[in-house]
Amino acid sequence: MQIMGSSAIVVGGAGGLGEATVRRLHAAGAKVVVADLADEKGKALEQELGARYVRTDATSEESVKAALAEAAAAGPLRIAVDTHGGPASGGRLIGKDGEPLDLAGFRQTIEIYLTGVFNVLRLAAAAIAKTEPAGEDQDRGVIVNTASIAAYEGQIGQLPYAAAKGGVVSMTLVAARDLAPLGIRVVTIAPGTFLTPAYGKAGEQLEAYWGPKIPHPKRMGHSPEYASLVQHICENDYLNGEVIRLDGALRFPPK
């Protein structure tokens, strides 16, 4: 699939992985909509790149539809990438006080990290389905979701987050099969430990902790490496229904 001249939406596009993806797709010639709740960062990207910033809540149908409409108006919508995040609850299933893990926190984490992804997935698919197919394979477009290696090796205290990311992993093949008749591909990236600007000064401590634990290279991942994989997924029409770990061969220990 050709990125040049296509329209793309990056949900969570003002965050670390999202911003790198916005920059990568923009450099490749896409017309990009930055969909996020971070107004200051989103507007800064809009001014710098000429990308369109649309304030977007991934869990809201109306909000996501509005952002997709902006993307579709800019050109043939063929690319949807979801990197959005938010607060995540955690803790052991039974705490030291003998109390079970909070149900409200679990529900909130699932709402943001699983239901939100499903919401973007279904609405992006409907929008891309209206795009005319192109190329030898009659491809309409691709949807890239973001899981985590916590889906496979969730650590102690990560139960809600691991459950949500496991759901994203499980949706991938089913969605790809559902959307195959429409010429829409679905691929998920499962990152390991990535050093993003959101960590601030704490990033140095995280790098010192995680770097030595990663087989090779012995460092945390960098956002442009995620974005590079997104570009390859877009351009490689035979990548479909797959979850790709991007983790330097890291496997999370129990804690």
Residue 29 phi/psi, 5° resolution? 105, 10
Q: How far apart are CA 186 and CA 189, in angstroms?
A: 10
Cα atoms in the Cβ-side hemisphere of radius 13 Å centred on 8: 33
Please, are residues 216 and 151 in contact by the beta-carbon 8 Å criterion? no
Please, are residues 231 and 25 in contact by the beta-carbon 8 Å criterion? yes
Of 48, 61, 18, the closest CA to residue 36 belongs to 18
Verify whether residue 161 is a known catalytic residue: yes
> Tokens at residue 186, please?
């679905």
> Tokens at residue 249, please?
């061969």
Residue 46 phi/psi, 5° resolution? -60, -45
> Tokens at residue 132, please?
């005319």
Q: Find the catalytic residue in 53, 113, 152, 161.
A: 161
Q: How far apart are CA 40 and CA 122, in angstroms?
A: 28
Q: How far apart are CA 17 and CA 81, in angstroms?
A: 10
Q: How far apart are CA 244 and CA 255, in angstroms?
A: 23
Residues with catalytic roles: 161
